[in-house]
Amino acid sequence: MLRIDGNSLILDDVIRVAREGERVALSDKALPGIKASREYVKELLEQKAVVYGITTGVGELSSHYIPPEKAIQLQENLIRSHAANVGEPLEEDTVRAMILLRANALAKGYSGVRVVLINTLLELLNKDIYPYIPCKGSVGASGDLSPLAHLALILTGQGECLKDGKRVPALTVLRAESTTPLQLQAKEGLALINGTQVMAAHGCLTLHDAYILIKHAQIAGAMSLEALKGTARAMDARIHAARPHPGQSLIAKNIRNLVADSAIMASHEHCDKVQDAYTLRCMPQVYGAVHDTLEYVKTVFETEINSATDNPLIFAEDKDVISGGNFHGEPLAFALDFLGIVLSEIANISERTVDRLVNPHVSGLPPFLAEGNGLNSGYMIAQYTAAALVSENKILAHPASVDSIPTSAGQEDHVSMGSISAEHARAILRNVVNVLAIEMLAATQGIDFQQPLDPGKGTKAAWTFIRKHISHWEEDRIMYLDIEKMADLIRSEKILRAVEKEGIEL
């Protein structure tokens, strides 16, 4: 059971709730702050104070005063009108992550909501209720207004949920799960929809997967190094100490450990070849930079998921309410664009390595890694697929955060477009999985051709595991089935686990 307090959430918590179904409760530590901010909202209503989103309209309509007796209707109208997303529904893990993150932000005690509102959000998680939230419509300005409004609708018994892949009225699902719909009170509708939780949910999930992917990239790269009879000299610790970026040294050490005791490497230790191509020689510099960027992105997201991002914020101790811009998605948009860029670079270097493996003019291996000299095409077209995916990534990696289309009659005149950055980063990641799958298939085939010489300690573990599930390419067969199977092995992390059993921690 995870207990949230608004301040202590980490990336691993998000993954456990989003993908493993861990149950969540509100920590008692959060209750005083939540209750105090709610009481202050009541005071403001009694005073008939002019407060944005409580006794005024929103956006360009903020100059319109709304009397306290219409505060509930304001919140109801707000979530109905703002629920305007379109497109395919967000995946269940994304929705679960965004619910957790919204609840955690409200638990900080600056939002003026009731405890029951947060507990009802957590009920959605704990009862596996899956709100239907179309994926497109946020510009990342006042946060993810529209998708969060779809979530807010569910709490009131409006909108829809997904049940067994079908859209079902939310009220039907809530009744079936004995969950009581809420009537939103003053400030609560606005508190639910002002925030960055869709961007943050996408980012946390993509970042977690990116960490797994860079580990597989190192395994694939080390296998390719051996298949191509490269040298580990460029991984020498002294080179990387002379340029002390932490990721660079880490990747070099990992490659050294993966190819340790390699008979393939030993067989050509004193050959005439002076140095390898950049795809092999510069793995520490490229993948190290990827690793360091992931660490930066993690810092941004672990800050964001413990932040108050709605507007206005209630400072009950000071008897103050301040309208600001914590909902603006720019920190996340930049980080998500950066994440998409570095994921694209993993695929870039991987595809070039595949090309090297299949090219008989540079590989020293049979043409296209095929048996039979012309009768079989081998991995010829698999490289085309990798090239197509890499090309698509180059388009997707264009930073969405450099765009801005003003909204709300110019009141919201600069937006982050962070939700688009988030969608692109996840799309890029899916492409990278398939590119790495192709490299692993090709590298495994290349190591086959080096037999009876064995690869290194870590690469042998990966090679042996892969060959238990995917056989040597002796003659042409249906290629996409092998690619799909390898991609599934990467996603399952089973190859990584096989390497780790040899005492190699990546």
The candidate with the shortest Cα–Cα distance to 143, out of 324, 309, 339, 331, is 309
Peptide bond into 312 cis (omega under 30): yes
Selecting among 40, 52, 110, 211, the annotated active-site residue is 52
Rounded Cα distance, 233 and 367, in Å: 27
Q: Consecutive 10-residue runs of the chain (506 residues): their mean pLDDT?
A: 97 98 98 96 88 78 78 89 94 98 97 97 98 92 90 97 96 96 94 94 98 98 97 94 97 97 88 84 97 98 96 93 89 97 98 97 94 88 98 96 77 81 97 98 97 96 98 96 98 97 96
Judge whether 194 and 145 are in contact, CB under 8 Å: yes
How far apart CA 392 and CA 385 sit, in angstroms, is: 11
Q: At a CB cut-off of 8 Å and minimum separation 6, what does 317 contact? A: 36
Is the Cα dihedral 346, 350, 351, 356 positive or negative?
A: positive
CA distance 466 to 102: 41
Q: How many CA atoms lie within 13 A of 247 on its CB side?
A: 19
* SS3 per-residue string spanning 256-316: HHHCCCCHHHHHCCCCCCCCCCHHHHCHHHHHHHHHHHHHHHHHHHHHHCCCCCCCCEEEH
From the list 410, 396, 412, 393, the residue with the least C-alpha distance to 330 is 412
Q: Which residues contact 144 (CB under 8 A, 6 or more apart)?
A: 98, 138, 193, 195, 196, 197, 198, 199, 329, 419
Q: Return the amino acid letter for 484.
A: E
- Of 350, 341, 227, the closest CA to residue 278 belongs to 350
What pLDDT does residue 60 have? Answer: 67
d(CA 219, CA 383): 19
Structure tokens at 363: 């590989």
Count of Cβ atoms closer than 10 Å to residue 155 Cβ:
27
The set of residues, in sequence order, having a beta carbon less than 8 Å from that of 35 and lying 6+ positions away, is 115
Domains of the chain: 2-195 (1.10.275.10), 202-309+339-500 (1.20.200.10)
168 forms bridges with which residues in the sheet? 161
CB atoms within 10 A of CB 61: 12
Give the pairing type, strands 86-89 and 134-136.
antiparallel
Count of alpha carbons within 13 angstroms of residue 219, beta-carbon side: 34
Look up 480 and say whether it is catalytic. no
Sequential DSSP letters for 348-395? HHHHHHHHHHH-HHHHSSSGGG-SSTTS--TTHHHHHHHHHHHHHHHH
Question: What letter represents residue 76's amino acid?
Answer: E
Would the pTM count as exceeding 0.85?
A: yes
3-state DSSP call for residue 111?
Answer: coil
Helix (H, G, I), strand (E, B) or coil at 65: strand
